[in-house]
Amino acid sequence: MFPDITAPGVNILAAYSLVAPISPYSEDIRKAPFNIISGTSMACPHVSGVAAYKEGSMINLTHNMSSETNPDGEFAYGAGFLNPLGAAHPGLVYDRNETDYIDFLCAEGYNVKQQKNLTKGGSRCSKSSKKSGGDLNYPSFTVSTLRQKLFSQIFERTVTNVGPPQSTYKATFWPQKTLKFRSTGEKLNFKMQVLGILGQDDEALVSASLVWDDGRYRVRSPIVIHVPF
């Protein structure tokens, strides 16, 4: 799913070069150490700052948004709007390392030469390489399907408890799944199956979510089913 999240990027007060004009008009000769700027160049520092503050917590990082107000749904705003306070205390994280990303490249069909161009080092597919790119331990789930065709996809994920040692999380889907952690740093696996049919009159993009809740932390991951563009 792309993008991952949405961050502030409109009319942001930012540091500015004293040698650059503050407006696009040639007759404007004003100089200032600050300016009001919009764009992804403003959204990026917000996300980078939060990531540096709480490295590895890409879950519970956002306020969820509604596809009712934006027909492009998660393809417009990702998992939701940046939530720095939630990222500071996520409860659960979907952890990944370099090997996971190399396995992702293998699953997507990248050969050794192409992998080296991306990793700038020696890399090869491990014996436990994932069968599809969707198996990357990522806190989102995407299914691409055709209309009037039954789809069924099983996702495997591993979550790490970074909250209190004795934590029990319950899922909001049926049949209800429970994850019981006995210690901080403990990892537990789960599988989730997404299946159904998109009818001829259904929207081209359908949004849902998986929520793990222990009464203190509420950890949400988006689920997107869509017809290819």
Pure H helices in the chain: 40-53, 74-77, 84-88, 98-107, 112-119
d(CA 67, CA 161): 30
Burial of residue 103 (number of CB atoms within 10 Å: 0-12, 13-18, 19+): buried
Who contacts 102 (Cβ-Cβ below 8 Å, separation ≥6)? 115, 119, 123, 124, 125, 126
Burial of residue 81 (number of CB atoms within 10 Å: 0-12, 13-18, 19+): middle
Buried/exposed 192-206: b ≥16 CB within 10 Å, e otherwise: bebeeebeeeeeebb
Domains of the chain, by residue range, sit at: 12-96+137-226, 97-124
Domain 12-96+137-226 grouped into CATH 2.60.40.2310: yes
> For residue 77, what pLDDT band results from cuts at 50, 70 and 90?
low
**pLDDT for 174 beyond 60:** no
Q: Chain-centre distance of CA 199, in angstroms? A: 27
Residue with tokens 């490295």: 55
H or E element: which one contains 190? strand 187-197
d(CA 203, CA 156): 27
> For residue 169, what pLDDT band results from cuts at 50, 70 and 90?
very high
Q: What is the pLDDT of residues 135-168, one digit of tens each?
A: 899 888 999 999 999 999 999 999 999 999 999 9
Q: Please report the pLDDT score of residue 57 as a whole number.
A: 45
**pLDDT for 198 beyond 50:** yes
Sign of CA dihedral 13, 14, 18, 19: negative
Q: What is the pLDDT of residues 18-71, one digit of tens each?
A: 999 899 898 999 999 999 999 888 888 888 877 766 654 445 555 555 656 666
